[in-house]
Every structure is written in C-alpha cells, then in structure tokens.
C-alpha cells in the first residue's frame, strides 16, 4: 500500500521544511520535493503540517488501583491516543508474584517474565504500537539477578519510587544498586520522586485531625518532598555515573534541581505532563476536586510557570501524560462505542481523600493542548513541540529512528496536523473512556486531521479505522541521553 503526501510542511525536532513524503508499506520510503508516484494514493497536504506520530512515554492502562482499575484499557486508551496524534505509548508493568515462578524467579517474590506476560496478554487488543517499562518495587539479590533478563524481553527501563511506603517504595541503597545494574546492562532507571516518610506522617496526622477532603491529598504531599527526592535521585545517578529519568515533574523546584545537576554533568532527564502546566491546588478545592487527584499532586501558579520555563529553555526533555484515568462518578454509565460502561472511580473516596484512585485522563489531550498553549502562545517552537512529544521520548527509550522521526526508513507513523483547525475541546470530543475532561470548553487551535500507523491511515477526521490487535509490541534497544 503506497501513499504520497504532497505539499505539506514537515516539522521535525531540528527543522521545518517543505517536502513530499512517499510511504511504501509500513515505512517512509522517500522524502523530497516534487515526488510523483503513479501507483500511490495521493493526499494533498497544502497548508498542513506533517509531524512524526507522537510518542507518549508514560501511560497506565487497565491498571488495578485500590478497589478499581484505570478506566482505559489497551484498546480504548490507544484509540484515544491516536485521536490526539499519538501513535506509540509506553505503559508500566506492575511487578507481580508468579504462582509458579519462571526463569530465575523465586516463590513469593516478583517475577519479571510472569509480570510481562500478564501485561502482554492485556495488550493483545492494542490499536497502536506500544512498549513497557517495568516497575521495580521489590529489591533483593534474586530480583537483582533477574534484571538483565529484561533486556532480552525488550524492556530497558525500570521505574523506582521514593514514595508509597510499604507498597512500591525502595530504600535509597536498593535504588543505588538498581542504578549500578542499569549501567552494567545498558538500561535506564526512571524515578517517581516524592518523600514517602513525610507523606506517611502527614497523611496520618491529617486523618487523625478529621481532614478528609481532596485538597488534603495535595497538602500531605508537599512540593519540597518532590524537589528533595528529585535532587536525591540526580545525586545518586551522579554517584553511579549513569543516567536517570525523572517522571511527572510537577514542582518548579524540580526544574531548578534538574538544571543544577545537568549543568554539573549529571545525566538526569526530566518529563513533565500537561496537567502540571495549568492546574493548582485550588482545583482540588472545587466541589469536583477529586477529578484533579493524582500523585504527585497539583501545585501552585508559580510551579506552573517554572515548568513552562523548563520547556521554553530546554531544561526539560519530554512531555508525557501519566494517563491513568478514572471515572469521576463510576456509578453512572457513559456510552463508549455504542455500549454503556461504568467503572468505579473517584467516588470511592468521597469520604476519605486517601481512597480516591490516583490518576487523571490525558492521553488524547496532550498534543492538541500543548500545541495551543505552547506553540500558538509562543512559549515553545513547533520543533520543540516535536522534540518533547515524539523525538526525545523515542531517543531516550531506544526507539529512534524507527519512531519519533520523519526520515527515510522510519516507520510511517505520521500525523497530518491542521494548525488552523479550531475545536471546542472537552469530554464530547474525547475518546478517553471516562466521564470528564480536564480541558472542558477550552478553545484549541491546531488539531490532528489524519493519522497513519506504519503506513496505514487509522484516523481521518472523526472517522476511526484503527482496530484492536493492530498495535505491535516494540522491543526496545539501548536509549540515548538527551
Ligand atoms: O496518580 C498517578 N500518577 N497514578 C499513576 C501512578 C504513578 O505514580 O505514576
Ligand atoms: Zn509515578
Ligand atoms: Zn505514572
């Protein structure tokens, strides 16, 4: 199947230029001006931008949490991603114990092969391409021995947590050893940075004092904990002499820590997410404040502004979503693809903020929202937009130049972007399987018009041609420090 996209303006992380693109089967075959191809179906992209498909490095699909599960699965979440211009997503695999451990696993301990197989099964309905990060939430000699086997499984990333005491957190010694093992095996550690001990203390004190409303979620997870833990992770990476990637950066001070460490040669990279650029603790004080509950929490206007500076000045490297949606009211069904769906959500914590499932929708919103508020508002260039939403995640996570690139030989994951399309955004336009949208009624200018996945058009305006099962698992190689 050949397609010729003519007269478009190509935007890459490095440059913007006019050219035609010839797609042959799954790949970009040629990029040049004046291309002709009799056998190809031709699309005139005059006035449109051609972007590499978005790469979202941070999503949680079908993730069990508290007494429910994140409400997008590996089909609905992928479909929503495509509607926002994203063609590759990276999900996190919870480390699970196998009833009969495979490989080097030990009974009663996490087993990477078993955990990955569970997630691969869930992802059989994938509609776009995907890969996984492994949550490293237990650490001992046996787990350490298993880590190199992840490379053979196509996984080169380990997420560690400095918070969630007694559940997900590792102590600093274990994190440091994980960094050393990552270095030896060409892998990358990703870190969730908050201070678990401080959070545990503040949550107990808040509950004892009868504070149960959503704002207490933010008040018990102070920004200083995120700043201190980000610096601690950077310092450990410096001491292990290996890169580290800080996920969902949310506090202005984290940007300062990143800058400080990078200027001193530490290979630390940072991701922020759109929600941290706009929203504050005041959103949690609204009657529907539970909609904004995620960890780390929303901060202040000053934090929003410093994160924007981090993007403008190139201190940060990526914009992911941390897409982990829940219904606001999971007792009321929504209609998704013609069928009623209701999944328990934020109402689970209506009397206690600690029981509100943590996470927000955003997989579709990311690129259109960032285009309007970043590129159109003059805060970032179109090339920075491509770098943050596609090229840098592909480079960091070992997919470049197959993904994240408009190059001959790259996968033909292509977005025809209409920079003038005006939309009134919100839940009615969203394919995220939840009952609310954080950007309700926002006026956006600039939106994906057509989306190709490995040469096949999966989206044309409102028409969805993607299918469950069409997405491929991407085994990733060694990534690059950017
Ligand atoms: O609240 C969030 N972000 N839930 C997803 C888990 C995580 O820590 O990223
Ligand atoms: Zn996290
Ligand atoms: Zn996350």
Residue 431 belongs to domain with CATH number: 2.30.40.10
Rounded to the nearest angstrom, the distance between the alpha carbon of 253 and the centre of ligand 2 is 17
Which one of 77, 324, 356 would you pick to mutate in the ligand 1 pocket, going by the greatest count of ligand atoms within 8 A of its CB?
Answer: 324
Do 450 and 358 fall within a single domain?
A: no
**pLDDT for 102:** 62
Residue 29 lies in a domain: yes
Residue 178's pLDDT is: 98
Nearest alpha carbon, ligand 1 atom 5 = 359
Domain membership flag for residue 416: yes
Inform me whether the pLDDT recorded for 16 exceeds 70.
yes
175-189 residue pLDDT tens = 999 999 999 999 999
pLDDT band at 450 (very low <50, low <70, confident <90, very high): very high
What pLDDT score does 138 carry? 96
What is the total count of domains within the chain?
A: 2
Q: What is the pLDDT of residue 109?
A: 87
36 and 61 in a single domain? The answer is: no
Any domain includes 482: no
Question: What is the average per-residue pLDDT within 471-480?
Answer: 97
Domain range for 45: 2-51+403-464
The Cα–Cα gap between 28 and 39 comes to: 15
Distance 369 CA to ligand 1 centre (A): 20
Claim to verify: residue 321 and residue 231 sit in the same structural domain: yes
User: Looking at residue 108, what is its pLDDT?
Assistant: 77
Angle at 172 between CA 166 and CA 173, to 5 degrees: 110
User: Would 481 be classed as within a structural domain?
Assistant: no
Does some domain include residue 472?
Answer: no
Write out pLDDT tens, residues 257-308: 999 999 999 999 999 999 999 999 999 999 999 999 999 999 999 999 999 9
Pick from 396, 415, 443: which residue ends a domain? 396
Name the closest-CA residue to atom 8, ligand 1.
Answer: 295
* Cα 320 to ligand 3 centre (Å): 9
* DSSP 8-state assignment for residue 279: -
Average pLDDT over the chain, rounded to whole? 97
Residue 58 CA, closest ligand 1 atom number: 9
Q: Say if residue 111 is in the same domain as residue 197.
A: yes
Model confidence at 201: pLDDT above 90: yes
**Pairwise CA distance, residues 129 & 127, whole Å:** 7
Residue with CA closest to ligand 1 atom 2: 359
pLDDT at 105: 62
| Shared-domain flag, residues 101 and 12 | no
410 Cα: distance to centroid of ligand 3 (angstroms): 28
- The ligand 1 atom at the shortest distance from the C-alpha of residue 293 is 1
DSSP-derived letter for residue 411 is B
Residue-wise pLDDT for 364-415, tens only, equals 999 999 999 999 999 999 999 999 999 999 999 999 999 999 999 999 999 9
Check whether residue 228 and residue 330 sit in a common domain: yes
Given this model, what pLDDT does residue 236 score? 98
Pocket test for ligand 1, best of 90, 279, 295, 354 (most atoms within 8 A of CB): 295
Average pLDDT over every residue of 35-45: 92
Give pLDDT, residue 1: 72
pLDDT of 482 higher than 80: yes
Q: Which residues line ligand 1 (CB under 6 A)?
A: 60, 192, 294-295, 322, 324, 358-359
Residue 38 has pLDDT above 90, yes or no: no
What ligand has the least distance to the C-alpha of 159? Answer: 2
Give a yes or no: residue 478 inside a domain: no
One domain, residues 25 and 109: no
Distance (Å) from CA 6 to ligand 1 centroid: 41
- Residues 111, 35, single domain; the answer is no
Q: Where does a domain end: 360, 375, 396?
A: 396
125 inside domain: yes
Average pLDDT over residues 411-437: 98
Distance (angstroms) between ligand 3 centre and the Cα of 34 equals 44
Is 473 part of a structural domain of the chain?
no
Residue 98 has pLDDT above 80, yes or no: yes
Is the confidence at residue 103, as pLDDT, over 60?
no
Q: Which of 370, 396, 422 is the last residue of a domain?
A: 396
Distance (Å) from CA 269 to ligand 3 centroid: 16
pLDDT level of residue 39 (50, 70, 90 thresholds): confident
pLDDT at 37 (0 to 100) = 86
Statement to judge: residues 342 and 198 lie in one domain: yes
Are residue 307 and residue 428 in the same domain, yes or no? no
Q: Which atom of ligand 1 is nearest to the CA of 192?
A: 8
**Do 321 and 425 belong to one domain?**
no
Q: What is the CATH number of the domain that holds 366?
A: 3.20.20.140
Question: In this predicted model, what pLDDT tens digit does every residue of 351-366 receive, in sequence order?
Answer: 999 999 999 999 999 9
What are 26-30's contacts with CB under 8 Å, separation 24+? 26/411, 26/412, 26/454, 26/455, 26/456, 27/409, 27/410, 27/411, 27/412, 27/454, 27/455, 28/406, 28/407, 28/408, 28/409, 28/410, 28/411, 28/412, 28/414, 29/2, 29/408, 30/408
Q: Which atom of ligand 1 is nearest to the CA of 295?
A: 1
Task: Tell me: do 34 and 57 sit in the same domain.
Answer: no
For 169, list phi and psi in degrees, rounded to 5: -70, 145
């Amino acid at each position: 199947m050949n397609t010729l996209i003519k007269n478009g303006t190509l935007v890459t992380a490095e440059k913007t230029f006019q050219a035609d693109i010839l797609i042959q089967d799954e790949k970009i075959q040629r990029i040049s001006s004046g291309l002709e191809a009799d056998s190809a179906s031709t699309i005139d992209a005059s006035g449109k931008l051609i972007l590499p498909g978005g790469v979202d490095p941070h999503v949680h699909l079908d993730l069990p949490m508290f007494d429910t599960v994140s409400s997008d699965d590996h089909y609905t979440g992928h479909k929503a991603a495509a509607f926002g211009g994203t063609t590759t997503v990276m999900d996190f695999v919870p480390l699970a114990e196998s009833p009969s451990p495979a490989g080097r696993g030990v009974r009663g301990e996490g087993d990477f092969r078993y955990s990955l197989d569970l997630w691969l099964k869930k992802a059989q309905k994938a509609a776009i391409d995907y890969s996984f990060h492994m949550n490293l939430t237990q650490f001992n000699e046996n787990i350490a021995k298993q880590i190199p086997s992840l490379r053979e499984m196509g996984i080169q990333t380990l997420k560690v947590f400095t918070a969630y005491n007694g559940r997900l957190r590792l102590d600093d010694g274990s994190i440091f050893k994980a960094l050393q093992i990552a270095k030896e095996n060409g892998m990358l550690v990703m870190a969730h940075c908050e201070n678990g001990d401080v959070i545990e203390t503040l949550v107990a004190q808040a509950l004892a004092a009868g504070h149960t409303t959503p704002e207490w979620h933010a008040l018990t997870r102070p920004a200083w904990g995120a700043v201190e833990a980000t610096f601690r992770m950077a310092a450990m990476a410096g001491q292990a002499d290996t890169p580290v990637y800080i996920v969902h950066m949310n506090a202005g001070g984290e940007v300062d820590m990143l800058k400080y460490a990078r200027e001193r040669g530490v290979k630390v990279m940072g991701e922020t997410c759109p929600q941290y650029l706009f929203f504050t603790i005041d959103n949690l004080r609204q009657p529907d404040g539970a909609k904004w509950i995620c960890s780390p929490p929303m901060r202040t206007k000053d934090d929003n502004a410093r994160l924007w500076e981090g993007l403008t000045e190139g201190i940060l490297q990526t914009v992911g979503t941390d897409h982990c949606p829940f219904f606001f009211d999971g007792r009321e069904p929504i209609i998704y693809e013609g069928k009623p769906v209701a999944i328990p959500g934020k109402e689970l914590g209506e009397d206690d903020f600690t029981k509100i499932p943590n996470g927000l929708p955003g997989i579709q919103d990311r690129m259109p929202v960032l285009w309007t508020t970043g590129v159109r508002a003059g805060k970032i260039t179109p090339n920075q937009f491509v770098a943050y939403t596609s090229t840098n995640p592909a480079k960091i996570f070992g997919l470049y130049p197959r993904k994240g690139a408009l190059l001959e030989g790259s996968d033909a994951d292509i977005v025809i972007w209409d920079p003038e399309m005006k939309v009134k955004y919100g839940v009615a336009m969203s394919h995220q399987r939840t009952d609310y949208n954080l950007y309700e009624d926002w006026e956006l200018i600039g939106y994906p018009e057509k989306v190709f996945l490995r040469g096949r058009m999966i989206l044309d305006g409102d028409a969805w041609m993607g299918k469950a099962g069409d997405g491929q698992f991407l085994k990733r190689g060694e990534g690059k420090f950017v």
